[in-house]
């Protein structure tokens, strides 16, 4: 938990995202689904990092749209950030 100043120059608490490491092999989808279930149950955002040597082009092109379609119906948003090499998972109200 970080302390930051808001617009009124008062200290407020800023929560840091829970971070989980995902494997770079075929088990990536299984581990991602486990984390999506956790986000859905706890309703707290999460960051799922991948390894730097993970080849993401095929998976992001073919599988990620299907995952997004399935999980938006279950009120969980999936975002990929290439710079962080991570998925950001968030509960949608």
Average pLDDT of every residue of the chain: 89
The β-bridge relationship of strands 46-49 and 76-81 is unpaired
Angle between helices 64-73 and 28-42 in degrees, nearest 10: 20
Decide which of 71 and 17 is more confident.
71
**Tokens 């040597």 belong to residue:** 53
Q: What is the mean pLDDT of residues 5-24?
A: 81
What global pTM score does this model have?
Answer: 0.81
Indicate if the pLDDT at residue 10 is higher than 90. no
Query: How big is the chain, counted in residues?
Result: 93
């Amino acid at each position: 938990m970080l302390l930051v100043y808001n617009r009124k120059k008062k200290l407020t608490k800023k929560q840091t995202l829970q971070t989980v490491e995902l494997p770079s092999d075929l088990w990536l989808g299984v581990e991602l689904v486990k984390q999506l279930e956790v986000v859905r149950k706890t309703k707290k955002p999460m960051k799922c990092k991948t390894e730097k040597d993970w080849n993401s082009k095929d998976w992001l092109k073919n599988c990620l749209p299907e995952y997004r379609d399935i999980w938006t119906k279950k009120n969980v948003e999936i975002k990929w950030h290439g710079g962080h090499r991570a998925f950001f998972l968030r509960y949608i109200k």
